[in-house]
Chain A
Amino acid sequence: MLSRLYGGPRPAGGGFETFSWYYFRISGILLVFLVIGHITLTHVTTDVACTTYSFVAARYANPFWRLYDWLLLTLGLTHGVNGLRVVIDDYVRHPQARLALQGLAAVLLLVFFMLGTITLITFSPVNAAQWGPACVGGH
């Protein structure tokens, strides 16, 4: 069960498990670059105390950053919840409990994907005079 995800032979047959095997690897490689870029932007080039409303409003004026963050959201959630699915498969033997938890994982994926997507699409900054400080906490 474990080996089909982690280092074992690629699942044959062309079904969902084959797709999943490739999806982990392709989304994972993309996420390496997207996530390291993201944490560099929000913890190194800008301190986290300065990732305020005004920082986001200025960044999201450019649709590129909304697309960047939406890719992070989509790839991160699908890669991560697919991982959660494998973990549930590994540890939950009871068929009904397994089905219930996998249903919960699917609901989590849908709810957080929708919440994140709606936030990214509908964000429309207030008047720039009301953006508040560039940094919080006296930085």
Chain B
Amino acid sequence: MYKGPSGMWSWLLHRVSGLGLLLFLFIHVVDISLLSFGPNVYNEGIELFDNIIVRFLSLALIVAVFYHSFNGIRIVLVDFWRRGVKLQQPMFIAALVLTIIAFIPFAYFVLRPALPFLAQGAYWFVDVNAIMSTH
């Protein structure tokens, strides 16, 4: 049913992203459990997620979420949709394209607080705040 290179790559990416998501879920259950130790301890844990390196790791997590979601839908369509088997390869391409399309706005929102130039949109090359404050 899954012949050729796209079947192999979709399978490998599904497995790797799934294991990564499970690893993060274990970490996430632990960091949420810090709630039981009160506001100071919990907020210290949240400060870690604000770190720029951890924000980039969050982007990897978000890519994994979208790929695993869209390819998972593809698997269900292959199994239950009459034309699914025939269209499995185009649906793999579609899963990759949708992952990229969904990822871009998320990447913008995740990085904007850490990279102020993103908030200036098309005018990233000038310091808008400095110009505004002089007028």
Contact = CB atoms under 8 A, between A and B. Distances in A.
A102 interface: no
Interface in B60-74: 62, 65-66, 69, 72-73
Contacts of B19: 83-84, 87
Residue of B39, B75, B113 with most partner-chain A CB within 10 A: B39
A7 B47 contact: no
A39 B47 CA distance: 17
B110 A48 contact: yes
Interface string B85-111: 000100000000000000001100110
B79 interface: yes
Chief secondary structure at chain B's binding surface: helix
Interface in B1-35: 1-2, 7, 11, 14-15, 18-19, 21-22, 25-26, 29-30, 32-33, 35
B43 A136 contact: yes
Contacts of A123: 35-36
A21 to B, nearest CB: 9
B134 interface: no
A80 interface: yes
Interface residues of A, number: 49
Interface of B: 1-2, 7, 11, 14-15, 18-19, 21-22, 25-26, 29-30, 32-33, 35-36, 38-40, 42-43, 46-47, 49-50, 55, 58, 62, 65-66, 69, 72-73, 75-76, 78-79, 88, 105-106, 109-110, 113
25 contacts: A6-B11, A7-B7, A25-B76, A35-B65, A36-B65, A36-B69, A39-B106, A43-B106, A44-B109, A49-B46, A53-B38, A53-B42, A53-B43, A53-B46, A56-B35, A56-B42, A80-B21, A84-B19, A84-B22, A115-B33, A119-B33, A123-B35, A132-B39, A137-B50, A139-B113
